[in-house]
Amino acid sequence: MIVVILSSISCKKYLDVTPDNVGTIEYAFRNRNEAENYLFTCYAYSQRLNDVSTNPAFTTSSEIIYPNNLSNYLGYNTTGFNLLRGQQTASNPGLNAWDGQNGSYSMYRSIRLCNTMLENIDKPIDLSDSEKKRWIAEVKFLKAYYHFYLMRMYGPIPLIKENLAINSSTDEVRVKRAPVDEVVNYIVSLLDEAAPDLPGVIQNQSSELGRATKAIALSLKAEILLTAASPLFNGNPDYANFKDKDGINLFSTSVDLQKWSIAADACKAAITECESRGMKLYQYVLPANVGRLSDSLKTVLSIQNAVTEKWDMNPEMVWANAQTFGDQGKATPRLTAKAVNNAFSNPSTFSVPISTQELFYTDNGVPITEDTNWDYSGRYTIQTGDSKNRYYIKEGYETIKAHFAREPRFYADVAFDGGIWFGNDVYNQDNAYFVQARGSAAFAGPKDFVNLNVTGYWPKKLVNYLSVYDDGFNQVGFHLPIIRLASLYLSYAEALNEFSGPSNTEIFTYADQVRARAGLKGIKASWAAYSKTPNKPNTKEGLRQILHQERRIELCFEAQSGWDLRRWKELQEVLSKPIQGWSIYQDQAVNYYRPQTQFLPVFGEKDYLWPIKSDDLIQNPNLVQNPYW
C-alpha cells in the first residue's frame, strides 16, 4: 500500500511539471542578462577546443610527443598524443568531435546552442537593437567556426542550419553529409553575414576580450578558404569515388585553381582590416626590470613574446584562446635544485623530437640540408660553447654542432642541453640559466619514470620568460594564439604562389616581413647567397616547399602545423620516419647524443580524415563512412 501511495504521488508530481527544456528556454531568454549568459555558453566550447591536449593539430603533428607510459597521467588527457601510436578505430575514435567523446567536445551540441540562441533572440524585452545585431553576428560567427572545425576533421558533414523540431520524423532526423564545396560555401556565407555587424575593436577588454570582431571573422574566412583550396579538399584524387548513398560526389573531382585566387583575396581583406586597426608584427620592448640585452636576445624575445605577451599588449594577436594556457610546467626544463623538488608543478613532459629541432633553418635562413656553409653530416659531433655564442649556448659546456649557427627562432622556440634560458627571475644576460639535461644527476634530466622529458628538447616558445619555477610555481599567464598577423602574411604568400607563382612580388613582400622579424634576410637573397639550390624560389614548386617550411617554423607549437600538414597532404610523409630523441639517461655528451627511437608513428591515407563512429552509421543509415575506414 505504501508503494502504491508513493507511486501515485510521484506520478501526480511528474504530471504537474512543465517539460524541462521549455522552462529552461523561457528562463534563459527572459531578459538581457540571462540571454547574455546563454551567449557566453555558445562561446564556451570554442575555447575548450583550443586546449592543446584535445587539439588534433597539436597532438598529432609530431612537433611534440608525450611519454608513452603516462596514459591519462593525473587526469591529463593523453588521448590525442596516443593517436600517433595507432590508437584510432572506427568503433572508438579518439578526440571524437562528432559525438563529443574520448577527449573532445560535441560540435553539433555547440551548433544546437547557437541555433537556439538565434531562434530566441527576440524574446528579451530589454535588449537593445544594436546589441541584438551584434549578438546575432557573434552567434553566426561561432556557427561557422564549429562547422569549420568539423570539416577539417571529417570533410563533408551534415549542415545544421536550423534545429530540428522535437516532433521531427525519422527521415528528417537522419541527416546526410553535404559535399565539401557546399559546406565551405555555407560557412563563408555565415561569416559574410556576421562580419559587418561585428565590432572593429573590443572597447571593454577587461570583460570582452575574446569575443568576435570583424578582423577575427575575416581572418577565419581566410583560413577556411585557404583550407578549401588546398590539396586535401581541392580535387583530391584519393577521394574521387567518395560518394553518398545517392551517388553524389562528396569531394570535387578536379582541381580548381581559382580557389587559390579567392583565398588570396580573403587573406588580403583580413590583413587590410587588421592593419587598419593598428595591428603589426610584435617587437620586444625592454622593460625596466631587464638590464642591457644583446641584439640576439632581443630578437629571441620578440619571437617568444609574439606568443606569450599579454593579449591586450600584443599588436600581432588577431584571435587567441580566452582561457590562459595552462601547460607551461610541461614545457619547462628544471633549471635549479629547488625546481627538482617541485617536479609535480613542473613535470617537463612536453618532449620535442629531433625531427622538429631539425626543421629550423641555419643562421643564414635556409634549411640545414641546403646550407653550403653548414656541416649537416657532422651535426651530431661534440662541440663546446664559446664566447661568440654565449647568449645562445653556455660557454664551456659540451653540446653538439647542430645547436650552433641556427636561426633565432630555433633559440626562441626550443630548449636543449647546454642552451641558455633567459628569464626565470634572472634578467642579466651574462648570468642567465642554462639547461643541464644529461643523465639523472642533471637538474633537467630524468628523475623518475613520470616527470621526465623523453627526447631532451622542450618547447621553450610555450613558456613566458617571466614565469618562475624554483621552490614555487609563479606562472605569468598568456593566451595561446589561434590566429596571428604573421600567419595571415604567410597564408597570403602561399595563396598567391599557388595561383600565380613566384612572379607575384607580393609573395616576398609579406613572407620576408616575417623573416625580418626573425633576424633573417629575404627568401631570394638567402637562397641566392647560401643555398645549394639557389634558384629554388624562382619556381612555384620550389617556392611552395620554402613557404611550407617557413610556415611550420613560424607557427611551431601553436596548434597550427597539424592542420597545415593535413591540408597539404604532407603529414603522411612527415610521420613516415621514427620519432627520436637523445639517450637521456647518459651523463656524458658522447653517449647522450645518440638518437633513440621513441616509437614508429602510425599514419596512413585513411588518417587524413577522422572516422565517423560505427554506431552513428547504424543509427543513421543515410551517413557514409570516410574512405578507407
Instruction: Render pLDDT for 161-179 as a digit per residue (tens, 0 to 9).
Output: 999 988 899 888 999 999 9
Query: What Rg, from alpha-carbon coordinates, does the chain have?
Result: 26
Q: Give yes or no: residues 95 and 219 share one domain.
A: yes
DSSP secondary structure of 480-534: -EEEEHHHHHHHHHHHHHHHH-TT-THHHHHHHHHHHHTT---HHHHHHHHBSST
Mean pLDDT of 484-495: 98
Res 9: pLDDT: 37
- The region of weakest confidence among 173-177, 202-206, 411-415, 510-514 is 202-206
Q: What is the mean pLDDT of residues 189-217?
A: 94
- Please report, rounded to a whole number, the percentage of residues in the chain having pLDDT higher than 90: 86
| Banded pLDDT at 597 (limits 50, 70, 90) | very high
**Whether 143 and 192 share a structural domain:** yes
Indicate the angle between helix axes 485-500 and 506-517, nearest 10 degrees: 150
- Both 269 and 366 in one domain: the answer is no
| 207 contacts: CB under 8 Å, gap ≥ 6 | none
Whether residues 99 and 241 share a domain: the answer is yes
What percentage of the chain reaches a pLDDT higher than 70? 96
The pLDDT tens digits for 541-583 are 999 999 999 999 999 999 999 999 999 999 999 999 999 999 9
Average pLDDT estimate for 609-624: 97
Instruction: Please check whether residues 371 and 272 belong to one and the same domain.
Output: no
Q: What is the pLDDT of residue 449?
A: 85
In a domain, 377, yes or no: yes
Nearest CA to 362 among 405, 319, 314, 415? 405
Examine the pLDDT at 11 and tell me if it is beyond 80: no
**Residue 49 has what pLDDT?**
63
**Domain containing residue 242:** 20-61+88-285
| Per-residue pLDDT tens over the stretch 71-95 | 777 678 899 999 999 999 999 999 9
Q: Strand, helix or coil at 98?
A: coil
Residues 316 and 276 in one domain: no
Based on the fold, state whether residues 154 and 262 are members of the same structural domain: yes
Q: Is 9 a member of any domain? A: no
Task: Please state whether beta strands 398-400 and 481-484 pair in parallel, antiparallel, or not at all (unpaired).
Answer: unpaired
Q: Where are the alpha helices (DSSP H) in 279-395?
A: 295-308, 328-331, 337-341, 354-357
Residues 303 and 193 in one domain: no
Mean pLDDT over 139-168 rounds to 96
Quickly list DSSP for 75-126.
Answer: G---HHHHGGGT---SSS-TTBTTTTBTT---HHHHHHHHHHHHHHTT--TT
8-state DSSP, 295: H
User: Cell 553518398, residue?
Assistant: 244
Say whether 249 sits in a helix, a strand or coil.
strand
Do residues 26 and 171 share a domain?
yes
At 290, list the grid cell.
Answer: 631587464
Within a domain: 488 = no
Inter-CA distances, 375 with 132, 386, 417, Å: 62, 18, 20
348 domain residue, yes or no: yes
The band of 451, judged by pLDDT with boundaries at 50, 70 and 90, is: confident
pLDDT value at position 50? 62
The 3-class secondary structure across 140-172, one letter per residue, is: HHHHHHHHHHHHHHHCCCCCCCCCCCCCCCHHH
Residue range 365-393: average pLDDT?
98
Asked if pLDDT for residue 618 goes beyond 50, the answer is: yes
pLDDT at residue 99 greater than cutoff 50:
yes
| pLDDT tier, 4 (very low <50, low <70, confident <90, very high otherwise) | very low
414 within some domain: yes
pLDDT of residue 123: 95
Same domain, 257 and 313: no
Number of domains in the chain: 2
Q: Which of 256, 285, 314 is the last residue of a domain?
A: 285
Q: Look up the pTM and report it.
A: 0.94
Q: Is 48 helix (H, G, I), strand (E, B) or coil?
A: helix
- 279, 353: one domain: no
The C-alpha atoms of residue 215 and residue 576 are separated, in whole angstroms, by 38
* Domain assignment of residue 582, yes or no: no
Transcribe 188-230 into DSSP letters.
HHHHHHHGGGS-SS-S-HHHHBTB--HHHHHHHHHHHHHHHHS
Answer whether residue 70 is part of any domain. no
For residue range 456-476, what is the model confidence (pLDDT) as tens digits? 999 999 999 999 999 888 999
The residue among 455, 479, 503 that closes a domain is 479
- Conformational region of residue 472, where left means phi above 0, alpha means psi within -120 to 50, and beta covers everything else: beta
Q: Mean pLDDT across the chain, nearest whole number?
A: 93
- Burial string for 158-180 (b: 16+ CB within 10 Å, else e) reads bbbeeeeeeeeeeeeeebbbbbb
Q: What is the pLDDT of residue 163?
A: 95
Choose the final residue of a domain: 479, 512, 536: 479
Q: Per the domain annotation, does 546 fall within a domain?
A: no
DSSP state of 413: H
Give the mean model confidence (pLDDT) for residues 495-512: 98
Same domain, 360 and 246: no
CA nearest neighbour of 417 among 460, 377, 387: 460
Residue 340's pLDDT is 93
pLDDT of amino acid 23? 55
325-368 pLDDT tens trace: 999 999 999 999 999 988 877 899 999 999 999 999 999 999 99
How many CB atoms are closer than 10 A to CB 12?
Answer: 9
Query: Is residue 453 classed as helix, strand or coil in its secondary structure?
Result: coil
Instruction: Report pLDDT for 2.
Output: 43
* CATH number of the domain where residue 155 is located: 1.25.40.390
Write the pLDDT tens digit of every residue in 19-74. Answer: 445 457 888 999 999 999 999 999 988 877 668 999 999 999 999 999 987 777 76
**Which pLDDT belongs to residue 16?**
37
pLDDT at 166: 87
Q: Which grid coordinates are listed for 27?
A: 528562463
The Cα 163–Cα 141 span in angstroms is: 17
**219 is written with which cell numbers?**
581572418
